Structure 1
Amino acid sequence: MAPSRSSRNSLQSVDLRALDYLTVPSANLLCPICHSPLITPVQTRCLHTFCSACISLSLDRSLSCPVDRKPLSHDDVTPAPIMIANLVNDLPVLCPNRERGCTASCARWLVESHVREDCEYASVKCAKEGCDGMVERREAEGECVHEEVQCEYCEGSVKKVDLESHNRECPKLSSECPHCLQAFANPELAAHMAECPEEIVECSASCYGCSYTSRRSDIESHTSTCHFVALSPVLQLHAERIATLELENKAIRQKLDLLVPPRPLPTPTSSTVTTTASNPMSASSQVSSTTTAGRDMTSEMQDYTFHLYSEYEQLRSDVERLNAQIRELDVKQDMARINEGLRYNDEMTGVRAAINGLRMQLHWLLANRREAGTSSPATSGNAGRAVAGGSANGGEIRRMSDSARQVVKL
C-alpha cells in the first residue's frame, strides 16, 4: 500500500538567506554583517543586533564589535528581544521553489512547513516501494518515473524521467534547425546551431549600444563599418574603470557606515497627532515642519560626516608626522652609535700605543741591566761575594726577564 500524502514529507532544506521577500525589509531589521534580514537575532552589550552565526564568526576572528569596534566577547552576546525576532519572522517571502512553478507566499516562519508539507513542487520520495528516487509532490501519486525503459530508436536503456531529454540527444533521431530549417542528427545539431549562417545575431558591440541585428553571414560587413566596434577598446577601458570606481565607492560607503552611527528618523509624537486632529487647518504647517525637520536632519548628518572626515584627516596627518619624527630619531640614533664607535676605536688605539711604549721602555731597562751586569770588573777580594751576588743577581735578572717575556706575550 502506498504511503499517504501527509506521511510523505519533503526532505528539502530551506536556506533562509536565499529567500526573496515580497517587500523591501526595513534597514533596522538587516544584519550589519551580511546585510540580510536577521536570522536568529542576538544583541551585544553595546546594543547592536546581528545574526547569531554572523557575530559568532566575526568574534572568532576579532574580539571587537563590527559596528563601533569596542571590545566584545562571546559572553557579551545575548538573545535579542522577542519583538525583533517576531518582526523578522513575519516578513512575507516567496516559496523557494518558485523557479519550478510554485507561486505561493507566506511569512518566513511558515516557509519551512510549507515546503515540507504543502508545496506541490517540493521534492519528495517516490511512492513506489523499493524506489529511492525523488519526484515533485504533484507527481508522487502517478506511476514511478525511475523505471528503465528501452528507447525505440537506439534501443538503449533510459529512465522514464530522462526519456524526453534522451530524445533530444538520441543519435538515431534528427531534428530541424530552427534557423535554416535543415535536418541534422541530434549530436550534430548543437555544433551546427553555433555556426548556422541563417541565425539572427546581434552586433559584437551590442553591449556598448549598437542595436544592429542581421544574419550571421551578413554581420561581418556591418562589423567593418560599425563605429561602436571601432570604439570597443576605449569603451571597454572605461567600463573597467567604472567597475573599479564602483568597488572603491562601495568600500568607502562601508567605512562611512562604520564611522557614522545610525540615527533614528524623527517620528511624530502623540502630542503632535492630537494637535493635528484637533486643528485640521494646521496640517499644511505640520507637513512643512516635518520637511524642515528632515532637511535639518540631513544637514546635521552632513555636518557630522564632515566633522568625522576632518578628524580623520587630522589623525592621518598626526600619524604621518609621528612617522617622520620616528624616522628622524632612527637616523640620529644611528649617527650617535657610529660616532660612539669611532670614539671607542680612537681610545683603544691610544691604549694600544701606550702599552707598546711601556713595553719598549721595559725592554730598554732590561737590556741596560744585562749590559751593566756583564761589564762590571770583578775583584779577587770580592770574588765569592761577586759570585754569590752574581748568582743572586742572575736569578733576579732571570726572574725579571721571565716577567718581561710574559709582558711581551701579553
Structure 2
Amino acid sequence: MEESDIIDVKYDDSITIKSYPTSFDLVDNDSTPDIRNLKYKTNTDHLNCPICQQPFITPLTTICGHTFCKECILEFVKSLRNGSNNDTTTTTGHCPLDRTPIDAANINDLFPTPLIVTNLVDDLKVYCLNSERGCDWSGSRWEVDHHVMDLCPYTGVKCGGQRHNDQVCELIVERRYFKNAEVNECIHKIFNCEFCDAEITKITEEEHLDHDCLYNYKTCELCGNDSIPQKNMAKHQENCIKMGKIKCPAHEIGCKWVGSNETSLEIHLQNGNCQLNQFLPFYASMNERMTNLESENSFLQRQLNKILDSIIQGKVTNLGYNEGLEEINKFSGGEEQDKLIYLNFELDRLKFEINEKLIPFMKRSKMNDQENMIKNLVNDNFMMREDMNLQRMMINSLRKQLQFMLFSRNRSVGVGNAMSSPMHGDDFGTDLYELESRSSSEERFNLKL
C-alpha cells in the first residue's frame, strides 16, 4: 500500500453504541449478564423473593419453610450481625418473615430450595437484555446467558479491528455490524457508497441504503418498475395497490403475474393455469413442517448448550442448587458464615459422590462373591457326580460277582440233591416253590444293589 493511500484512510470514531440500563456489553471474559435486569413476559408473583420482590435467583429455604434469594437472605443475616454488639463472626439471625431463629452456617437451618422450584423459576419467559436496542428474542430465563453471550446481534463487543497505524480499535459496537466486515477490519473505517459515493461506514451502511441513498434502485413486484429507490419502495407499492394492482397468491414462491382486477386473477387461477398456485398448499405444509423442525432443533441445541456450559463452568448440583466449583474459595476475610455455608455444601457433595461410587462397588463385590460361590458349588457338584459314577460302577461289578456266586452255589446244590434222591410229585412241587421264592428274593436283592 502506498503512503498516499494510507493517509487517505479515515475513521469515524464519533459513532457510539446506544446504551440502556438493561443492555449487555461483552467487553471482556469476565462480563456476565445481570439477570436482575430482565423483563418478564409472564406473571411472577408466586415466585418472587419477599426481600427483593423479584423472581428467585439461586434460592435458599429456611427451616421455617420460607424461600429467599441466596444473596438477599445472606445480606439480611449480615446486616443483623453488623447492627448488633455481638461477635462479628457469628452466623445466627432470624427469618425476615416470622423471626424464626436460623443459623446461616447450619445446612439444616438454611438449605438449597428443591430442584422443582429452581426449574420453575428458570423456565420463566423473559425478553432479551438488549430488547431496547432492537432485539426481538424471547425465551426461558436459563437461555439468556447463551443468547446474549454468543447469539444476540445487539450485544455490545469491542471492534478489535486493525488500523493503518497498527492500533487496535477498542470502541464498543453492536455485534450485527460484523456480518459483512472482513476479518480484522475496523468497522469504523470510512468508505464511499457504491451507488451515490456518500461517505459511510459498516455501521451506517444499512441505514444509508434503506433510508438515504437515492440511487439504490430496486424492482417493484407489482408494476415491474426497476428504477424505484429502496427508500421509496414502501410508498410506491402502496400506490400500486391503490391503483388496483393485484399479485398472484403464489408470488411468494416465484409467480410473477400481476393483474389489475379480481376478474383477471380468476382467469389466471382457473383450470390450473398457475402451476405454482397448485403447488402452494404443499409448499405451505412443507414450510410449516420445516419451521417446527427448526424450532425443535433450536430447543435441543439450547438444551445441549446449557449442559455444555454447566460442564465447562464446573457446576455441580446440590439438592437442586447449582454452584460453580471455582467460586468455592472466593471469600472475603469477614464473611465467615459464607465460608461455613460453602463448606457444608461441599461436604454434602463429597458425601454424595462417595456413596454414589462406593455403593455400586460394594454391590459389585457381593455379586462377584456370589458368582464365585456358585462356581465353587458347580465344581463340587461335578466332582461329587464323578465319585457317584465311580461308586455306581463298583457296585455294579460287586453285584455281578454276587450273582455269579449265588448262581454257582444254587446249581451245585440242585445237582447234589438230584443225584442223592429221586423226586416224587409232591417233593418236586415243594422244591419248585422254594426255588421260585429264592429266585424272587435274589432279584429283590439285586434290585436293591
TM-score clears 0.5:
no
Q: TM-score, normalised by structure 2?
A: 0.32
Compare relative contact order (CA 8 Å, sep 6+) and give the higher one, 1 or 2.
Answer: 2
Of Structure 1 and Structure 2, the greater helix share is in: 1
